[in-house]
Structure 1
Amino acid sequence: MTATTTSPLPYRSLIWLAVATFSTGIDGYVLAGLLPKIAADLSVTEALAGQLVSVFALTSAIAAPVLGAATSGWERRRTIVLSLAVFVLGNLIVGLAPGYSVALSGRVVAALGASLLNAAISSYVIHLAPEQHRGKALSFVLGGWMTATALGVPVGLLLGQSSWRFPLIMVAVVGTIALIGIMIKLPHLRLPVTTLAERLTPLRQPRLVAGLLVTTGILCASYTCFTYAVLILGPTHRAGWMIILIMFGYGLASMLGNAFTGRLADRFTPLRVLTVILIGLLLNSLVGAVAFQVASLSAIAVLGLVWFFVAGIGNGGAAVPQQARLASMAPQSAAIVMALNASAISLGSALGSGLGGASLTAGLAPYELLGVAAIVLTATLILHLVVARLTARRTAAAAA
């Protein structure tokens, strides 16, 4: 059976891809809420436990374009099945790891599978769905990730109260279910072969590279705090059920931001929407940093949640306008640019987790990570404005 772009939207096939992205979404967020338990069980510091998040993101950032080019000639369903199987295996290794080094190795294995899986799924959906329904199809499949943020992560954290290993086993089980469904229901699909050099062609544009670094900066600032959110909010929200509810709220805030800014980007320009979001994230970090420093403990209990949920809205809302702006910079290479943007996201996540861990190791208090994030956001906002200026000049020159 071969997929064609003239067939109606095949939700019975796409649902299994959504389940696959659901499993990767849980994996991407759940460990951040379990750092104290992981550190205690593996006999490492919480900052070192946070590197389980960093190494996953860094491996994904490096591996995605390389593995994507290396497997571009493979049949797409085969690629998806293999990458999902590797992802499941990696999570089993982490979930059963007797020590930190084995857990770290398992995260590398899981990241290799996830990096190839995400790229393969995106390219599959774009070519499977009719052109007039591609946005709907991508939204449906990638909705698995957003659902994982709002639903899967709290469930994983609930399981993690008994053992931090249970959520990893849950991810492996969900991934296995998706694997079986994909093998049974997903049509075969072959795409044109692309080389790594062809995939990296857009990087010859300095303006586009700077735009990708804006993505990296946003995610770096986000993960500097999100990875250690349990430590930041811990003094005022100690109970496990509180953290679960807070993470659930963060997921809903991210979904709200994503949906709201998507409509704003259609009404206004992606550039304006992204500028407002970056300014909002920066102000939120600065106000939050001051509040944690000077406010009373009872006030921090409220202001800390306000900071966290506003950050969720901003971080979730930045994705749509940023992707739209990047695609407009190289419309003939939009698919490749989106793949590079995925690597920029993973790189930012890795840098943020690493920066937060290094800051804690250097002696900073967890709440002082908000100030570190503010510094990163300041640099990101400046870079964003530079890219906007260069784009405006290029547009004016083209018009002249």
Structure 2
Amino acid sequence: MKTSDEARPAGFGALLWLALATFSMGIDGYVLAGLLPQISEDLDVSNAAAGQLVAVFALTAAIAGPLLSALTGRWERKAVISISLAVFVVGNLVIALATNYAMAMTGRIVSAIGGALLSAVVSAYVLAKTAPERRGRALSFVLGGFLAATALGVPVGLVIGQDDWRVPLFLVTGVGAIALIGILVNVPRLHLPALSLRATLRPLTQPAVMGAILVATGIMCASYLCFTYATLIFGPRVGEGLPIIAAMFGYGLVSLIGNIVSGRATDRFNPVHVITLIIGILVVVAVLGTLGLMLPGLAGALAAFAWFFGCAFFNGGSGVALQSRLGDLAPDSMSLVLALNGSGMQLGSALGGILGGALLASGVHADGLVPASAVVLVSTMILHLIVSRATRHRAPAAA
């Protein structure tokens, strides 16, 4: 029997505190990459070693997310959210107070453990606690905190971190602590049906679920194949400094708008169709971007911005539809499959950066990364259509 607190819906107030938690994670996820010179100088390590603070977060999150989601699957959801956010906050505080590289690395691993679980559980909580006809908008609102951080929090963090790289981490710690208090006070409790570990892990044996996760990997691979080296595409056309900052700020803002639009579209249409449309348009954007970048002078610069913001809009909108789709495929193991989705996206980001670097090292011009992303997206579309077709054919038998 549900308690009065569990019967209470997750209204705007509860979603706002969850969005603030994802906002703190968004700042943490990107701001350190822009402060590597300051970190390396302060901790007396090389830039490459400082960069490992970014890499170890992604690696730890990719491994810890699914594992912890499976192990905590029978726990009350608000408690899991609160504990994981507390671990995330403590990890960032350790980094901010670090007196040496080992202490900073330890804090980074701790924050990744908390952040990986938090990301999966928050999305699963929203899907479980929101009426089906409003899930897309609710999920886009909460995930919008992460995207808002890329548009607003990260630029602010980079500015205030120029003199002291620890200041943005204190900012993340403070925002996360405030979100934790708000969640403890305002977010309703939620008990999901208790499943055995074997039942929780069952989605790992379902090709449709794993295929859908690989679709997310493909989209992120295509995105980061270009995003990682965007300055090499923009630099020759618009110069360094302010134009690049404006492009990155615009990318985050347009991604946030795409996230909002996708949330509403997912509520009205089948998430599978929304994903199909997003991948298809991303292919078109890549093809048109390839042609536009061939234009000389101002026309080429404008084409670069149009391509970049087109990618931002539809990449930003893909997360809601992908997570909603996975929630439909494995409603009893949402935390696990969403954690796996997060791991798949981390893997896609890493693969995109590696593939882009390999192409550049082989002599491909930076502009050539755009058509390469189109090839990845076409492959992802084929996989998505195969998975969707197989799922449709099995649905009548399952019914």
Instruction: Tell me which residue corresponds to 1:152.
Output: 153
Q: Which runs of 5+ in 1 are unaligned?
A: none
Correspondence 1:44 to 2:47: yes
Note the aligned Cα RMSD (angstroms).
3.8
Alignment match, 2:230 = 229
Aligned residue for 2:278?
277
Q: Which residue of 2 aligns with 1:374?
A: 374
CA distance in 2, matches of 1:40, 1:231: 25
> For residue 388 of structure 2, what is the amino acid of its counterpart?
A
2:117 maps to which residue?
116
Shift of 1:30: 3.6
CA distance in 2, matches of 1:228, 1:367: 10
Q: Which segment drifts farther, 126-135 or 116-125?
A: 126-135
**Change in CA separation of 1:353 and 1:230 when aligned onto 2, cut-off 3 Å:** same
What is the CA-CA distance between 1:127 and the residue it aligns to? 5.8
The normalised TM-score by structure 2 is: 0.80
Partners of 1:19 and 1:32 in 2: CA distance:
21
Tell which deviates more after alignment, 50-59 or 142-151: 50-59
What code does the residue aligned with 1:301 have? A
Contact between 1:76 and 1:188, CA under 8 Å: does it hold in 2?
Answer: yes
Asked whether the 8 Å contact 2:139–2:263 carries over to 1, the reply is: no
The 5 A counterparts of 1:93-112 are 93-95=94-96, 105-112=106-113
Deviation at 1:311, TM superposition (A): 0.5
Does the aligned pair in 1 maintain the 2:124–2:338 contact within 8 Å? Answer: no
TM-score calculated relative to the size of structure 1: 0.80
- The answer to whether the Cα contact below 8 Å between 1:231 and 1:366 also exists between their aligned partners in 2 is yes
CA distance in 1, matches of 2:106, 2:362: 25
Instruction: Tell me if the contact between 1:161 and 1:240 (Cα under 8 Å) persists in the aligned partners.
Output: no
- Against the structure 1 CA distance between its residues 65 and 224, is the aligned structure 2 distance closer, same or farther, given a 3 Å change threshold? same
* Native 8 Å contact 2:127 2:324 kept in 1: no
**Equivalent in the alignment of 2:385:** 385
| Greater mean alpha carbon deviation, residues 94-103 or residues 213-222 | 94-103
Given residue 58 of structure 1, which amino acid in structure 2 is its aligned partner?
Answer: L
- C-alpha distance 364-131 of structure 1, shift in aligned 2 (>3 A): closer
The Cα of 1:363 is off from its aligned counterpart by 6.1
Identical-residue share of aligned pairs (%):
52
Greater displacement, 88-97 / 217-226: 88-97
Select between 372-381 and 177-186 the one with higher mean Cα deviation: 177-186
Output the amino acid matched with 1:43.
S
Give the total of aligned pairs: 396
Paired position in structure 1 for 2:347: 347
Q: Could you tell me how far 1:379 is from its partner in structure 2?
A: 2.0
Kindly report which structure 2 residues correspond to 1:176-191, keeping only aligned pairs within 5 A, or say none. Answer: 176-183=177-184, 191=192
Note closer, same or farther for the CA distance 1:207–1:154 as it changes in structure 2 (3 Å cut). same
For the pair 1:63 / 2:67, whether they are aligned, the reply is no
Distance 2:264 2:134 in 1: 18
Distance in structure 1 (CA, Å) of the matches to 2:369 and 2:40 = 19
Q: What residue in structure 2 maps to residue 200 of structure 1?
A: 201
Structure 2 residues without counterparts, runs of 5 or longer: none
Tell me the distance in 2 between the aligned counterparts of 1:328 and 1:185. Answer: 27
How does 1:244-259 map onto structure 2 within 5 Å? 244-259=245-260
Q: Does structure 2 conserve the Cα–Cα contact (< 8 Å) formed by 1:54 and 1:351?
A: no
In structure 2, relative to structure 1, the CA distance for the partners of 1:200 and 1:260 (3 Å cut) is same
Do the aligned partners of 1:5 and 1:127 also contact (CA within 8 Å) in 2?
no
1:49 Cα deviation (Å)? 6.6
Q: Supply the AA of the counterpart residue of 2:146.
A: W
AA matched with 1:272 = H
Contact 1:32/1:230 (8 A) holds in 2 = no
1:218 CA displacement? 0.7
1:306 paired with 2:306, answer yes
Give, in whole Å, the separation in 2 of the partners of 1:13 and 1:324.
Answer: 19
One-letter identity of the residue aligned with 2:317:
G
Cα distance change, pair 285–367 in 1 and its aligned pair in 2 (3 A): same
**Any conservation in 1 of the 2:9–2:129 contact (CA below 8 Å)?**
no
TM-aligned CA distance change 1:116 to 1:244, over 3 Å: same
